[in-house]
Amino acid sequence: MRDRAQAIEWQVRQVKQLREAELLWQSIGRRYESCTLDTFHAHLPAQQTVLGQLREYAARMRQRVAEGVNVLLIGPSGAGKDHLLAGLVHVALAEGLSIRWQTGSQLWLHLRDAIQGGCERQAIEELVRPDVLVLSDPIPPHAEPSNYERSILYAIVDRRYSHLRPIWMSANVASRQQADERLGHAVADRLRHGALVLGCWWPSYRRSDSA
């Protein structure tokens, strides 16, 4: 009876994980559902180096997440940063970890609605709760972030930092200095502490074949 109960519990857990994964990919977008580390085309030495370091992180996924090790991918738009983060998400889901993925626009719309509804603190806690929070370019690339945006981002990052819950982030920037300036030094300092910071300094994959 005990073995049967354990088997049923395992099946229920598997169904729950599959459902959560399905909902996650729906929220992220189907484009990224097929993006794994194996499908990332690493032709240049710099791409191979970045991919290799992410494979090492993925090989020790549970340990890295338990240690609160952030992953920061910085570089120009179209370099495949979100493809690489999606590849890590596939591994994390297979390990049974909970994931929340937010683009910059989703993040600020979510928080704006929360403020209007008087539940800003609850909205922030929802972003602190998952094992891993993925932030896809949280700071708009063509506008100076407001003090409010920086303060909210700090609150999210600081809470997760305190609880050893990692953030995986992509940022469309021209340099590490620009990343620090746009995020704010207090946010950047916490994100970088003990993190895997990788520069994706190569041409965009979005260029047309005829270009």
Asked if the structure places residue 138 within a domain, the reply is yes
Q: CA 174 to CA 21: how far, in whole Å?
A: 33
Name which residue leads in pLDDT, 42 or 116.
Answer: 42
**Gap between the Cα atoms of 53 and 36, Å rounded:** 14
Does residue 71 form part of some domain? yes
Residue 18 within any structural domain of the chain: no
pLDDT digit string (tens) for 183-195? 889 999 999 999 9
Q: What is the CATH number of the domain that holds 115?
A: 3.40.50.300
- Please tell me the pTM assigned to this model: 0.86
In a domain, 210, yes or no: no
For residue range 100-144, list pLDDT tens digits in order: 999 888 888 877 777 777 778 888 899 999 999 999 998 766 667
Report residue 208's pLDDT band, with 50, 70 and 90 as the boundaries.
very low
- Which structural domain range is residue 137 located in? 35-199
Number of domains the chain contains = 1
Residue 12 falls inside a structural domain? no
Reported as a single tens digit per residue, the pLDDT across 74-108 is 999 999 999 999 999 999 999 999 999 998 888 88
